[in-house]
């Protein structure tokens, strides 16, 4: 990267963005749109796309309508389905990146090992030894990124193929084989629905039952796609319709026992009653907590598929894995050829394991020893000029991350602009502002369904604190419109 340019008293900041997923690309686009060229996106893998590059399991699709799961400035009239398949979403991000001239800015196979701030500069070192300097670092490393491997005895003894859902082994044949899936989250249910028609036998190992919401996933007709292409207003109208629908229904429903919750919870409950014929199976599929406590499963056909003759729901707890398959505590051995671990992600890792070290030689790990916290989700006291997109407290219940990332990227751009205008060169979150923010978040989360719904989920950290935005999306947008500068030390 070039040294910071002098333009009178103004300087273009040198920016390093970590991650070429949805948020990192977005941050790059915002810098480009502002005419700032001195930035690089460091991507640890050989391709862009973040979660959509890593998750390639059979059945993968977005559970947010695709016209809404798009950048607001880059509509895609060509989405094939209401909920597009994962590969299509990854291609969408690649084409937007291309259209904004980002590929030349992305440095692949560049995993950041350490970022250390001294003398007013961030010094970044990648695992391959490459080093660079930056005035600002923006971590866009994703929320659900580090696979969580289950702590099940004997896992390594299994003689068949065993892999995490985010590390799919595409060389492993599936048709006609005995497949086991551990987990019942969004991932496992999509895999189950896709593989039951292909497997000889599919065993789904359920530790906790899930509520399932039956939304169909039709193709957009040729006429609809023609309209989206030829009548830009149609695409915008569809975008805003979905936005309003989400805002007032799925996103509201997590906030408390309101009308949206009663309505949608009722649909999920009726779905179970109507879709599962065998009363014994229905009881085993019935969660003992409230809908929306865990992330609601969106699936039109999970119940249908789990009732097929070659599918089995296993609810006896897993005792261990053996060479031939999974042994449950009732003594049964479930013989398998393939074992899929759809066991979720370490949602509280955020930017770690990268070593972030501040001017006082303090690491982010130390700063977060009491839990990951960030002012307005983007800044950590002690770590000047370091920002995060999709940091702690980001996800707004059931709302697409792409919308919150756009708001956060614009918020971070306000710091970039002040730096560039020569108004200031150092921005640090004030500890007392973070304390106030966290108190607000904790108080707000008390009445959410995540807290009152009676379940465990990845929304809670290891101390049982909720690391989600506990208010409405409108409030998120309002509070993040621009930085409240008194919350920062600016110099
Ligand atoms: P998840 O929701 O965290 O589910 C993990 C599953 O694995 C749970 O059923 C969990 O059981 C089970 N599990 C974990 N450790 C286990 C163990 N040792 N033994 C037995 N079972 C174990 O993970 P996910 O399904 O990958 O989904 C994560 C998030 O990704 C979702 O909530 C959603 O936000 C997102 N996602 C979105 C889409 C989409 O369509 N947009 C698709 C997939 C995922 P317990 O419930 O008992 O802990």
Q: What DSSP string runs through 376-437?
A: TTTB-TT-TTEEESS-TT--BTTS-HHHHHHHHHHHHHHHHHHHHTTS-S-EEE-HHHHHHH
The DSSP annotation for 257-308 comes to SSHHHHHHHHHHHHHHHHH---HHHHHHT--SS-TTSSPPEE-SSHHHHHTS
Q: How far apart are CA 187 and CA 184, in angstroms?
A: 7
Across the range 109-128, mean pLDDT stands at 97
Atom of ligand 1 nearest to the CA of 344: 23
Is 420 within 8 Å of 36 (Cβ atoms)?
Answer: yes
In this structure, of 37-46, 189-198, 244-253, 329-338, the range with the lowest mean pLDDT score is 244-253
Sorted by where each begins, the domain ranges of the chain are 15-146+346-490, 155-211+255-341
Q: What spacing in Å lies between the alpha carbon of 269 and ligand 1's midpoint?
A: 20
Distance of CA 425 to the CA centre of its chain: 31
Tokens 């560049």 appear where? 110
pLDDT, residue 156, reads 95
Comparing 16-30, 153-167, 169-183, 237-251, the range with the smallest average pLDDT is: 237-251
Phi, psi of 339 (to 5 degrees): -125, 115
DSSP 145-211: -SB-----TTGGG--SEEEEGGG--TTS--TT-EEEEE--SHHHHHHHHHHTTT-SEEEEE-SS---
Chain-centroid distance, C-alpha 78: 23
**pLDDT > 70: percent of the chain:** 98
Distance CA 373, CA 439 (A): 11
CA distance linking residue 424 with residue 108, whole number of Å: 32
As a whole number of angstroms, the distance between CA 353 and CA 355 comes to: 6
Is CATH 3.20.20.100 correct for 15-146+346-490?
no
**What is the pLDDT at residue 127?**
96
pLDDT value, residue 1? 55
DSSP letter, residue 55: -
pLDDT value, residue 246: 87
pLDDT at 232: 78
The Cα angle at residue 102 between residues 98 and 104, in degrees rounded to 5: 105
pLDDT band, residue 446 (cuts 50/70/90): very high
Cα(211) to centroid(ligand 1), Å: 13
Average pLDDT over residues 56-63: 95
Q: Does 342 contact ligand 1 (Cβ within 6 A)?
A: yes
How high is the pLDDT of residue 349? 87
User: For the residues 145-165, what does the mean pLDDT come to?
Assistant: 96
Q: Rounded to the nearest 5°, which phi and psi values hold at 230?
A: -90, -25
Atom of ligand 1 nearest to the CA of 298: 40
Q: Confidence band (pLDDT; 50, 70, 90) for 8?
A: very low
What is the model's pLDDT at position 258?
95
Question: Would the CB of 450 count as within 6 Å of ligand 1?
Answer: no
| CA separation for the pair 92, 81 (Å, rounded) | 13
Kindly tell me if the per-residue pLDDT of 11 is higher than 90.
Answer: no
Tell me the CATH number of domain 155-211+255-341, given options 3.50.50.60, 3.30.450.20, 3.30.530.20, 3.40.1410.10. Answer: 3.50.50.60
79 phi-psi bin (left φ>0, alpha ψ -120 to 50, beta other): beta
Per-residue tokens: 409:
């990227």
Q: How far apart are the CA of 360 and the centre of ligand 1, in A?
A: 38
With a cut of 60, say whether residue 445 has pLDDT above it. yes
Asked whether residue 192 carries a pLDDT value surpassing 70, the answer given is yes
Query: Dmax over Cα atoms in the chain, in whole Å?
Result: 77
Continuous segment of H or E residues that includes residue 223: helix 222-230
Ligand 1 neighbourhood includes 147 CB (under 6 angstroms): no
Nearest to 187 by CA among 153, 144, 219: 144
- pLDDT tens digits, 124-142: 999 999 999 999 999 999 8
d(Cα 164, Cα 1) in Å, to the nearest integer?
Answer: 37
What whole-number percentage of the chain has pLDDT above 90? 90
What's the CA gap between 479 and 490, in Å, rounded?
19
pLDDT tens digit sequence for 349-383: 899 889 999 999 999 999 999 999 999 999 999 99
Average pLDDT, the chain: 95
Does ligand 1 lie within 6 Å of residue 389's CB atom? no
> Is 144 near ligand 1, meaning CB less than 6 Å away?
yes
pLDDT at 422 over 90: yes
- Look at residue 401 and tell me whether its pLDDT is greater than 60: yes
- Residue-level pLDDT at 9: 61
Provide the pLDDT for residue 3: 45
Alpha helices, H only, 11-140: 22-33, 51-54, 86-99
Nearest C-alpha to atom 20 of ligand 1 is from which residue? Answer: 207
| pLDDT band, residue 7 (cuts 50/70/90) | very low
Mean pLDDT score, 392-416: 94
| Average pLDDT value for residue range 63-92 | 94
Residue among 87, 185, 293, 327 whose CB has most ligand 1 atoms within 8 A, to mutate: 185
Cα 385 to averaged position of ligand 1 atoms, centre (Å):
34
Nearest to 382 by CA among 433, 418, 438: 433
Pocket probe for ligand 1: among 22, 87, 164, 187, the residue whose CB has the most ligand atoms within 8 Å is 187
Two domains, one topology: 15-146+346-490 and 155-211+255-341: yes
Using most ligand atoms within 8 A of CB, pick from 186, 348, 458 the residue to mutate for ligand 1.
186
H helices of 3-102, where? 22-33, 51-54, 86-99
| CB neighbour list of residue 274: distance below 8 Å, 6 or more residues apart | none
pLDDT value at 482 more than 80:
yes
3-class DSSP state for residue 85? Answer: strand
Burial class of residue 60 in the structure, from the number of CB atoms within 10 Å of its CB (0-12 exposed, 13-18 middle, 19+ buried): buried
Give the per-residue pLDDT at 462. 84
β-sheet bridge partners, residue 325: 335
What are the pLDDT digits (tens) for 264-300?
999 999 999 999 999 999 999 999 999 999 999 999 9
Rounded average pLDDT over 445-455: 95
Mean pLDDT of 10-27: 95
Which residues are paired to 219 by β-bridges?
Answer: 81
Q: Is 226:336 a contact under the CB 8 Å cutoff? A: no
For ligand 1, the distance from its centroid to the CA atom of residue 187, given in whole angstroms, is 6
Section 30-40 average pLDDT: 97
Atom of ligand 1 nearest to the CA of 61: 40
Tell me the β-bridge partners of 133. 123
Residue 143 Cα to ligand 1 midpoint, Å, equals: 13
Distance 34 CA to ligand 1 centre (A): 38
Q: Is 183 in the pocket of ligand 1 (CB under 6 A)?
A: yes
* Confidence bin at 198 (pLDDT 50/70/90): very high
The CA distance from 362 to 469, in Å, is 27
């Amino acid at each position: 990267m070039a040294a910071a340019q002098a333009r009178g008293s103004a300087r273009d900041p040198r920016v390093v963005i970590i991650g070429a997923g949805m948020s990192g690309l977005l941050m790059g686009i915002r810098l480009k749109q502002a005419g700032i060229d001195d930035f690089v996106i460091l991507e640890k893998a050989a391709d862009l796309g973040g979660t959509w590059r890593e998750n390639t399991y059979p059945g993968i699709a977005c559970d947010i309508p695709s016209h809404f799961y798009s950048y607001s400035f880059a509509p895609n009239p060509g989405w094939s389905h209401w909920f597009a398949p994962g590969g299509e979403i990854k291609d969408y991000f690649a084409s937007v990146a291309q259209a904004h001239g980002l590929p030349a800015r992305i440095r692949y196979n560049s995993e950041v090992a350490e970022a250390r701030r001294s003398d007013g500069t961030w010094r970044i070192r990648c695992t391959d030894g490459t080093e660079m300097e930056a005035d600002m670092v923006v971590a866009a490393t994703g929320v659900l990124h580090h696979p969580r491997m289950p702590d099940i005895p004997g896992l390594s003894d299994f003689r068949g193929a065993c892999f995490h859902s985010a590390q799919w082994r595409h060389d492993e044949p599936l048709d006609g084989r005995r497949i086991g899936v551990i987990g019942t989250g969004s991932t496992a249910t999509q895999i189950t629905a896709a593989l039951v028609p292909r497997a000889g036998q599919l065993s789904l190992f359920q530790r906790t039952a899930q509520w399932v919401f039956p939304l169909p996933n039709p193709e957009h007709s040729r006429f609809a796609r023609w309209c989206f292409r030829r009548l830009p207003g149609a695409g915008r109208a569809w975008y805003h319709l979905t936005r309003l629908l989400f805002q007032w229904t799925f996103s509201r429903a997590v906030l408390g026992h309101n009308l949206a919750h009663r309505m949608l919870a009722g649909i999920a409950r009726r779905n179970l009653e109507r879709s599962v014929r065998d009363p014994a199976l229905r009881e085993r599929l019935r969660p003992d907590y409230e809908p929306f406590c865990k992330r609601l499963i969106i699936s039109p056909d999970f119940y249908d598929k789990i009732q097929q003759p070659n599918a089995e729901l296993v609810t006896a707890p897993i005792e261990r894995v053996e060479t031939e398959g999974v042994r449950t505590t009732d003594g049964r051995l479930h013989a398998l050829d393939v074992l899929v671990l759809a066991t979720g992600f370490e949602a509280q890792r955020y930017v770690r394991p990268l070593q972030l070290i501040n001017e006082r030689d303090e690491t982010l790990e130390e700063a977060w020893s009491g839990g990951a916290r960030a002012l307005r989700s983007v800044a950590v006291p002690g770590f000047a000029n370091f920002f995060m997109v999709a940091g702690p407290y980001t996800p707004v219940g059931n709302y697409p991350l792409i919308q919150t990332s756009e708001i956060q990227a614009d918020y971070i751009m306000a710091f970039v602009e002040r730096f560039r205008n020569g108004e200031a060169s150092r921005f640090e979150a004030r500890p007392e502002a973070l304390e106030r923010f966290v108190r607000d978040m904790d108080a707000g989360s008390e009445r959410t369904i995540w807290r009152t719904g009676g379940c465990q989920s990845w929304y809670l950290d290891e101390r049982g604190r909720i690391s989600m935005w506990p208010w409405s999306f409108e409030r998120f947008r309002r509070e993040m419109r621009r930085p409240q500068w008194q919350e920062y030390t600016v110099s």
